[in-house]
Amino acid sequence: MTFKLGLTGSIGMGKSTTARLFEEAECAVWDADAAVHRLYDTGGAAVLPMETLFPDAISDGAVDRAALRTIIARDPEALKQIEAIVHPLVREDRAQFAAMTDADILVFDIPLLFETGSETEMDAVVCVTVSPEEQEKRVLDRGTMTPEQFHAIRDKQMPNDEKCARSDYVIVTDTLEHARAQVHNVLEQIRKRMTHA
């Protein structure tokens, strides 16, 4: 029996670090962002359909994410068209991963898990969280965006409280040790569920 665990959390909450902790604990981890990168890369499954709709978004045989952002900023409808291409391909990539792995617990690292309705395909969901102050500090410390850009992204995402309330497990990522202990606790609970299933 394989258990599918959805891993989600808003920007700067420590999701990537938590995904690595699950990997350390011998879970197989699938990363939605990495899947999109594969689909957008040269020869990726999204390149041709994207080129048909948005020829300006293709550079050297790959999808140029910066060009896509410009297109979306110009035309709000473009995002829906892009999602209609990408979401089914991402789902397909996820299904292939699930079919090819033999780990007992599969962790699906999906930032927009609830927003895309993917929680219905999971056996349980874990959400990572920290205080809003720590979240903002982490994102701004990366030096890749302004406070305004961060707030714009955060405001588009489902509120953190709602994500936590809708999840089966919540992991507070205030320290690495605390997060690791919670990951092990979640896995212990899941394995107990699996043996009693």
In whole angstroms, what is the distance from residue 141 CA to residue 49 CA?
Answer: 36
Long-range own/partner contacts, residues 81-88 (CB < 8 A, 24 or more apart): 81/53, 82/50, 82/53, 82/54, 85/46, 85/49, 85/50, 85/53, 86/36, 86/39, 86/46, 87/116
**Segments of 113-172 assigned E as strands:** 124-129, 169-172
Give me the pLDDT at residue 116, please: 86
* Residue-wise pLDDT tens digits, 125-159: 999 999 999 999 999 999 988 999 899 888 888 99
CATH numbers and ranges of domains, the chain: 1-27+106-197 (3.40.50.300), 32-102 (3.40.50.300)
With beta carbons less than 8 A apart as the criterion, state whether 161 and 127 touch.
no
pLDDT of 197: 66
Alpha-carbon distance of 196 to 1, in angstroms, equals: 12
Quick one: pLDDT at residue 1?
78
Contact 14, 111 (CB under 8 A): no
Residues of the chain with confidence (pLDDT) below 50? none
Q: What is the pLDDT of residue 73?
A: 87
Q: What is the pLDDT of residue 47?
A: 96
Structure tokens, 51: 């080129």
